[in-house]
Amino acid sequence: MVILKIILWIFCIVTALVLLVLLGVILALNVKVGINFDYDSSGTALKIKYGFLGIKILPKKEKKPKKENKPVGMFKFWTEGLINKLKGKAVESVKTTMEKKGIEKELKEAEELASEQVRIQETETRLNAEMKEAEELERKTRIADAIGNPYPDVVDESKVEELGGIKGKLATMDLEAAFDDICSYVEAFDKDSVTALLSFIGQQTGTTFKKVGKRISVKEFGVTMTVSGDDAAKTAIKYGRIAAVAYPALNVMKKAFNVKNMSLELVPDFLANSDAAEFHNHVAFRPLRVIAPFGGYALKVGKRSLKVVGDTTKVADKLKAERKQIRQEKLINQTADQLALSNTQN
């Protein structure tokens, strides 16, 4: 009873810890995250806000060089003398240490060289012994061949041919079985079911991303761009191309996300020498609400996919069993024919 109580307490504690961890993860993912991105002629600024905490990523702060503490006043002479004395001792200590390290390195290299020489000698001795055995075996083989008694006498050509024939049959049977398996899966493949599955996946993907987009709040999205060219005609053409892409993209973005403030200003400048742009963006979202739709998506798509795969596998297994039965009957018939032929010859 005591052991059971201990096991029960351990289980309760582990369960409580797991629940606390899950609760902590859920609370952490439910905190609002904000991203501020600004770009203009002065540079780029990026700031990420997690709840009440703000992290400034761009521009990075430059580290200020540390000021050296120089001795001043009446103790300057004594402090400089003490520093020079300590510096000299440090240099002498480093030299001594380097000399010791050099001596240790030379001793270590000498030991490694000696051990390598011993290993080479052992290898040469082993190779010489193996060479003698090989030469003796070659001599015995030549003598056995000369007197008509091959050495060693372990090869039976008839058995080799028989084994080769069996191996060829097995290889043929394996190839035939593999081909039948492939044919079974191809025949079990239902085009309509797979097409319906792909259509379902596409529909669920679109619905899921629409949900995710609506849970991302675009508090500010502003673009100001000055378009210029070599002359007035090229500037006008360039302005038209950019406007033809930018304004429809803005409408798509407005439909996809929860947009609160959006602006796009394109200005053709016929006197400027280069383009100029400013971009201001502030996005906020809760990670838990953004991730949640993918859970339902995975369950629905996974369930539908497993059903299609399971049905296809069942049909393929049935076809494989039928083809295997046909192969076995074919093999039995071939064996019977060979036995009948051998009995006729005998």
pTM of the model: 0.56
Q: What's the per-residue H, E or C state across 285-300?
A: ECHHHHHHHHHHHHHH
Is residue 188 within 8 Å of 312, Cβ to Cβ?
A: yes
Helix (H) or strand (E) holding 48: strand 43-50
Of 301, 288, 295, 296, the C-alpha closest to 215 is 288
Q: What is the chain's length?
A: 346
In DSSP terms, 222 is beta-bridged to: 263, 280
Amino acid at 39: Y
Q: What pLDDT does residue 327 have?
A: 76
Q: Where are the alpha helices (DSSP H) in the chain?
A: 2-29, 76-146, 157-188, 191-214, 232-256, 287-345
Question: What pLDDT digit, counting tens, does each position of 251-295 carry?
Answer: 998 888 999 999 999 988 888 788 888 999 999 999 999 999 999
Domain-wise residue ranges, the chain: 81-154
In DSSP terms, 264 is beta-bridged to: 223
Question: What pLDDT digit, counting tens, does each position of 167-201 carry?
Answer: 555 445 556 667 777 777 777 777 788 888 889 89
Which residues contact residue 261 at a Cβ distance below 8 angstroms, ignoring those fewer than 6 apart?
218, 219, 220, 221, 222
Alpha-carbon separation of residue 97 from 86, 89, 111 (angstroms): 16, 12, 21
